[in-house]
Structure 1
Amino acid sequence: MNELNEPARSPVDTATIDAWMQQPTERFMRQRWLESLRRWGTAPDTAPALEATLAAMDEAGVAKGLLSAWHGPTGSLISNEEVAEIVEAHPGRFSGIATVDLTDPMGAVRDIRHWVGERGFVGVRVMPWLWNLPPNDRRYYPVYVACVELGVPFCTQIGHTGPLCPSEPGRPIPYLDEVLLDFPELTVVGGHVGYPWMAEVLSLARKYPGFHVDTSAYALHRLPPELAEFARGGGRGKVLFGSNYPMLTPAACLEGLPSLGLDDEARALFLHGNARRVFGV
């Protein structure tokens, strides 16, 4: 009990939406760029079973996870088809985030129209560090047009990379700044917080109505203090919870939720309200 004789609040909110999850394949887990994450103890050696993923969600009160497909220069790592199978088997627990092949622009547009427009996926994610292409590269632009046409967010990674790949493509300015100027109707969710370029991240979040940040890959007690302050105040409608499971479990991320000092409105927006609005789930 606290000094007002009110029950202590649990960090578990059973309506939570995890904005960034993976159900990895073994070919994903074999990627050499995961070696640094394994050294840090934040990447499993093998892909978890789907039952383990659901149990991890239940432990943290995650009602829905947004599952990402992955495609890179070497080919598919987690295919849209593999994500769709999981979503169709557990439609109440998961929604799909599509991926595309940047070397095939018309194929990328057709894929987005199929997986979003026909199969109900709720966003598109591309990893700039995986391609070593910043998001203002011309190869992304057909993807942005398709996202705007279908009314779904473009999800990407911002900040340094934990995997053994260059970090520069994740720098927010000038790369995302130019994209958001060119596509004022585009909604963008920058995942993995954006450290060490926090001033650039927050400047974009204040400048562009369509730019949002998710906290994936961070336990909440380790969030940069300026992002926590933003989520408490004027940026409460701009910050979404994400875990980056299985690199971190939702429960491990949410242990630090009380330390953010969110009021009831900001807490609800962070855990699920912003994701419901941005992804339409």
Structure 2
Amino acid sequence: MLNPDDLIAIDIHTHAEEPCGTHGDDGYDDFQAAMSEYFKSPHKHPPTVPETAAYYRAKKIGAVIFPVDAERETGFRRYNNYEMAELAAQNSDVLIPFASIDPAKGKLGAREARKLVADYGIKGFKFHPTMQGFYPNDRMAYPLYEAIAESGSIALFHTGQTGVGSGMRGGNGMRLKYSNPMYIDDVAVDFPDMKIILAHPSFPWQEEALSVATHKPNVYIDLSGWSPKYFPPILVRYVNTILQDKMLFGSDWPVITPDRWMADFEKLDIRDEVRPKVLKANARKLLGI
């Protein structure tokens, strides 16, 4: 089992990817190739869950790991949550499993969420409004949120611009508008006891994200998806001050490695007492470990 005392950090944002070739002709491999080009990824193929675990084990970093279920909007077959959870359980010394369920699945999705928490140890759920094609405050998603809130799990939402579909024709059909963090303010009001993470520096809505996290006690921010050297000054200022207990290290593995992120974070003007909070302490408290 995971022992946080042995870890130098907890990465709150890593992606579970299926091995290449398992998606047939649904376009997923072309999509991944475009992603790798956009992020200048060092990986020749998306790493498997066991490969991810081995990497993080060697680095002494814990990793929250999840797939993304966006079947309705993208046509890409999802990574089976149960299979991923079983692989994470086999590597529980470093992996902390989250799941993903397209909110369009309604009560069926809510039932799956309850089972994943009760029987598979899932700690949270990843939403990607742009990939899933929905506004986070759409009441369609509320049965799923209710299941998450009742179980005491965490809801993690992609926010801001995304590399997904960037440079592809029509952005591969991805609409950025869905990922404005202000829509999640409604969710934080309607589910005040559900812990919520706003993922990524939320360009071009950074101040909206900071406002929601400052105003709502149940909302946190992860710093994944960007090299810290590109963080806007206002984000760094909030990390150092009023949101220092709600900021979380995340890399966005495999498109950004924790090595790259942590090396650039070391060069930021972050107060000495704040660094360990961002790298591990805040995540440890949020996850209850």
- TM-score tier after normalising by the smaller chain length: 0.7 to 0.9
Q: Provide, for residues 55-92 of structure 1, a one-character-per-residue CA deviation record: whole Å limited to 9, x for no partner.
A: 53256441x11110221113643221222122121111
Q: Which residue of 2 aligns with 1:119?
A: 120
Contact 2:159 2:202 (8 Å CA) reproduced? yes
Select the residue among 191, 201, 212 that pairs with 1:204: 212
Q: Distance in 2 between matches of 1:38 and 1:78?
A: 19
Aligned-residue offset at 1:104: 2.1
Which stretch of structure 1 is more off in the superposition, 222-231 or 200-209? 222-231
Greater mean alpha carbon deviation, residues 91-100 or residues 177-186: 177-186
Choose from 35, 38, 56 the match for 1:37.
Answer: 35
CA distance in 2: counterparts of 1:228 and 1:128, whole angstroms: 25
- 1:171 to 2:180 alignment: yes
Partner of 2:194: 186
Please report how far the alpha carbon of residue 260 of structure 1 lies from its aligned counterpart in structure 2 after TM superposition. Answer: 2.6
Q: Alpha-carbon deviations, 1:201-231, whole Å to 9, x = none?
A: 1111111011111011112222222111111
2:125–2:156 Cα contact (<8 Å) kept: yes
TM-score by length of 1: 0.87
1:19 partner SS: strand
CA distance in 2, matches of 1:219, 1:115: 32
Q: Is residue 2:65 matched to residue 1:67?
A: yes
Query: 1:260 is paired with a residue of what secondary structure?
Result: coil
Runs of 4+ in 1 over 6 A off after TM superposition: none
Question: Given the superposition, is the C-alpha separation of residues 60 and 224 from structure 1 closer, same or farther in structure 2, using an over 3 Å criterion?
Answer: farther
In structure 2, do the counterparts of structure 1 residues 17 and 267 end up closer, same or farther at CA, with 3 Å as the change threshold? same
Q: Does the 8 A contact of 1:56 with 1:249 survive in 2?
A: no
The answer for the alignment partner of 1:195 in structure 2 is 203
Q: How many residues align?
A: 267
Equivalent runs, 1:68-83 vs 2, <5 Å: 68-72=66-70, 73=72, 74=75, 76-83=77-84
Q: Contact 2:28–2:76 (CA<8 Å) still a contact in 1?
A: no
Q: Is the 8 A contact 1:232 1:260 kept in 2?
A: no
Helix, strand or coil for the counterpart of 2:185? helix
Partner of 1:85: 86
Task: Output the CA distance in 1 between the equivalents of 2:259 and 2:230.
Answer: 14
Shift in alpha-carbon separation, 1:65–1:116, aligned structure 2, 3 A:
same
The CA deviation at 1:195 is: 1.2
Instruction: Give the 3-state SS of the residue equivalent to 1:103 in structure 2.
Output: helix
Q: What are structure 1's unaligned runs of at least 5 residues?
A: 1-12
1:17-69: CA deviation from partner (whole Å, max 9, x where unpaired): 1101123113579254445433324344522245642453256441x111102
The DSSP-based 3-state class of the residue aligned with 1:216 is coil
TM-score (normalizing by structure 2): 0.85
Out of 264, 273, 277, the residue aligned to residue 269 of structure 1 is: 277
Aligned to 1:253: 261
- Calculate percent identity across the aligned residue pairs: 25
Q: Which runs of 5+ in 2 are unaligned?
A: 1-5, 166-173
Alignment deviations for residues 93-131 of structure 1 (CA, whole Å, 9 cap, x no partner): 101101113222111111111111222111011110112
C-alpha distance 59-231 of structure 1, shift in aligned 2 (>3 A): farther
Cα-Cα RMSD: 2.1
Quote the Cα distance in structure 1 between the aligned partners of 2:39 and 2:216: 36
CA deviations on 1:135-179 (whole Å, 9 max, x unpaired) are 011221112111211111111100012112211111122x11222
